[in-house]
Amino acid sequence: MYQQHLGSLGYQHVFLFEDGYTCLNHMHEQPDVIFLDEHMRIQQGVEILKKIKAFNPDIYVVFISGADEIQSAVASLKFGAFDFIVKGTDDLNSLSLVLSKISELWKLLLNKRKQMTKIINRSCGALSY
């Protein structure tokens, strides 16, 4: 359902993995965003989250879990999740909103990098002989 929704929003490179280890084995593909379920086969989501963040702390990880998983929400945010979506409570809309937030952050970071590049270029120009 989530994969279809993301496709309908225009995201083209959406992959679905059955477990956390399979996801970890695809980190070389440099994902920008990972939606991670707390309850997966083999290993729990928080443990996979820690490994994702160790691999690349800049990946946006959004945790998805049931409403009765408050401890999971707290733990996921503590270990670097960007946000937490509760299953079954308008989760498709929440998915869209989270992606909008991430898109806005990317724009802000891109603008900041452009400004820093200008400052660095000016500084380097001032140092040339």
- CATH number (domain holding residue 82): 3.40.50.2300
pLDDT tens-place string over residues 37-90: 876 655 678 889 999 999 999 999 998 887 666 777 788 889 999 998 888 778
Burial category of 28 from C-beta neighbours within 10 Å (exposed 0-12, middle 13-18, buried 19 and up): exposed
The percent of residues in the chain predicted with pLDDT above 90, rounded, is: 19
- Do residues 53 and 59 touch, judged by C-beta distance below 8 A? yes
Q: Do β-strands 83-86 and 33-37 pair in parallel, antiparallel, or remain unpaired?
A: unpaired
Residue 112 lies in a domain: no
List the domain range (segments joined by +) for residue 24. 2-104
In the chain, the number of structural domains is 1
Task: Say if residues 86 and 57 touch (Cβ distance below 8 Å).
Answer: no
Residue 127 maps to a domain: no
pTM of the model: 0.77
For residues 61 and 82, give the distance between their C-alpha atoms in angstroms, rounded to a whole number: 6
